[in-house]
Amino acid sequence: MADSGHPDTDFPAGLANRTSASDMERKTFPRQHPEDIMTDHTPTERPARRDIGDDLVLPFTVDALDVRGRMVRMGRSVNEAIRQHAYPEPVSRLLGEIMVLSVLLGTSMKFNGKLIVQTQTDGPVNMLVADFTTPGYVRGLARFDEAAVKALSDEEARDPVRLMGNGHLVFTIDQGPNTERYQGVVALSGSLAEAAENYFAQSEQIPTRVRLAAGEVSDAQGSGWRAGAAMIQHLPPAAGSRPPEEEGSAADNWPRAMALFDTIEDHELLDPDLSPERLLYRLFHEDGVRVFDPVPVEWRCNCSREQLLETIRRFSEEERAAMVENGRITATCQFCSGTYEFTPEEVGLTGDAPEAEGTGDD
């Protein structure tokens, strides 16, 4: 009903007016500092566990390789989010990827509020948006041309460029009213993971590798959507702070970390029987990997009756009148499909406002 490009009142406003990526160089995200990135987590060293669970972020560090990173595993959280949308399979897969990306990035930055990750592209799936709200809530939605998505062959639907086309990936941090919004933009003409890597390389100048996967997985419990992500970043100690005898071999650290990381298969990011700790152990046990306390994640929409009411009130009187059906306005949250009903009076229509239904435009 109340659909004119506003998923809800939280929708990132003014994106069309944004400045170019270079203009906002200094206004980008709160910087990640190696020393404070994980101060919220108590380092714990423990053997890999199989039963660590799902729907979590697992930060880790491989000190010997100057690497820190995180893994994200989403089971029930992403399944609930995807199922209620009932999008075509290729769109669901992208939605799973952007949701897990928002969790990956949202838990790696210091802020309180919301990180919005959004695509704006010219292909069949022209918009994907995922919001991560601290400390661990995520929701998402997609806009797409159903006929154009259906027209793609299975092989074409696996190609991110055929699905999304070309455009931008936009990151926005919103910490609430009366705070400055941080925004970053990077070109998108491939996978979401590639765009995220490019963002870190260009804007943050941190060499970064990102892997994202989403898909339907069947096991003894049945079939469900799952999503997984992994990221490593190269954060060497400041020049001169390393013992001189280690300087020579340190040059190989990042290439070695990337080579190990690149052996990760999509199914390993999705396998409910392969815990992220076991996967990390498989990759980095020779170099010594330490994990930090996991951060739980869940699918949760923060829509409310008040928010939707506010959105509807922003439409013109004529538009609001046109929303009235059988004396009621019904609005559906596009993130969670929750529905809310309002009386014409609640949305600021006077009792004698004409109902649009059947009145024509004469």
Closest distance between Zn ion and the C-beta of residue 7, in Å? 9
Nearer to Zn ion, 309 or 333 (CB): 333
Burial 310-324 (b: 16+ CB within 10 A, else e): ebbeebeeeebbbbb
Q: How far apart are the first and last CA of the chain?
A: 23
Q: What is the largest CA-CA distance in the chain?
A: 85
Residue 74 touches Zn ion, criterion: CB under 5 A: no
Closest distance between Zn ion and the C-beta of residue 325, in Å? 21
Nearer to Zn ion, 76 or 300 (CB): 300
Closest distance between Zn ion and the C-beta of residue 77, in Å? 15
Closest distance between Zn ion and the C-beta of residue 1, in Å? 14
Residue 88 touches Zn ion, criterion: CB under 5 A: no
Residue 336 touches Zn ion, criterion: CB under 5 A: yes
Cβ contacts of residue 281 below 8 Å, gap of 6+?
Answer: 48, 289
Q: For strands 222-234 and 67-74, give the pairing.
A: antiparallel
Q: How many Å separate Cα 334 from the centre of its chain?
A: 16
Nearer to Zn ion, 254 or 299 (CB): 299
Contacts with Zn ion, 316-335, as mask; x by CB under 5 A: -----------------x-x
Structure tokens at 3: 């659909």
Q: For strands 137-144 and 298-299, give the pairing.
A: parallel
Residue 360 identity:
G
Closest distance between Zn ion and the C-beta of residue 301, in Å? 3
Nearer to Zn ion, 128 or 188 (CB): 128
Contacts with Zn ion, 293-312, as mask; x by CB under 5 A: --------x-x---------
| CA–CA gap between residue 342 and residue 347 (Å, rounded) | 7
Residue 338 touches Zn ion, criterion: CB under 5 A: yes
Residue 138 touches Zn ion, criterion: CB under 5 A: no
Nearer to Zn ion, 232 or 301 (CB): 301
Cβ contacts of residue 143 below 8 Å, gap of 6+?
Answer: 125, 126, 127, 128
Closest distance between Zn ion and the C-beta of residue 107, in Å? 22
Q: Which residues bind Zn ion (CB under 5 A)?
A: 301, 303, 333, 335-336, 338
